[in-house]
Amino acid sequence: ILYQTGLRRSELTHLTEANTNILSATLKVLGKRNKERILPISFSLKCNLEAYLKVKQELNLQNMMLLVNEKGNPLTENALYLIVKKYLSQITTIQKKSPHVLRHTFATHLLNNGASILAVKNLLGHASLSATQIYTHTTIEVLKSSYKKAHPRGDS
């Protein structure tokens, strides 16, 4: 969810089932300064959320919060941090392993693949464009690719 939406850790842990609209494939997120935004979710995330909600119902975990622990209590920010750290440790050697790394990766991948900085700003829930600009550190490979595609003599 973190990587596919760019949510902040607190936004995800405060997400309720009511904020999850499977039918329209959107999440209603309450961000900083109580600013509300609607985020699209991918088909695969939609399917994963449907399956998760079904299991949650089968286990009779009746909590209005979307993410709960095995006892049915809301998942805490610290618990989420530890889960992310555990699974990132299994797949990467980067030093920092936190939910924010996934948010940062989300933004970087969008920008590197052609999303406008304004769209990324809105998806991240930033109040100003300057907050989003820290994610514009495109890799040299992306710059080289853009150069080769756009410049008339980029291939020569």
Catalytic residue among 37, 56, 85, 100: 100
Residue 37 designated active-site: no
Residue 14 designated active-site: no
Residue 151 designated active-site: no
Token pair of 46, please?
A: 């939609």
| Secondary structure (3-state) at 107 | helix
| Secondary structure (3-state) at 147 | helix
Helix (H) or strand (E) holding 8: none
Catalytic residue among 87, 135, 144, 148: 135
One-letter amino acid of 7: L
Residue 135 designated active-site: yes
Catalytic residue among 9, 14, 121, 126: 126
- Using an 8 Å Cβ cutoff, are 29 and 20 in contact? no
Residues contacting 137, CB < 8 A, separation 6+:
108
Residue 8 designated active-site: yes
Catalytic residue among 32, 35, 137, 151: 32
Residue 147 designated active-site: no
Catalytic residue among 9, 14, 103, 121: 103
Sign of the four-CA dihedral 4, 8, 9, 13: negative
Q: Any idea which residues carry the catalytic annotation? A: 8, 32, 100, 103, 126, 135
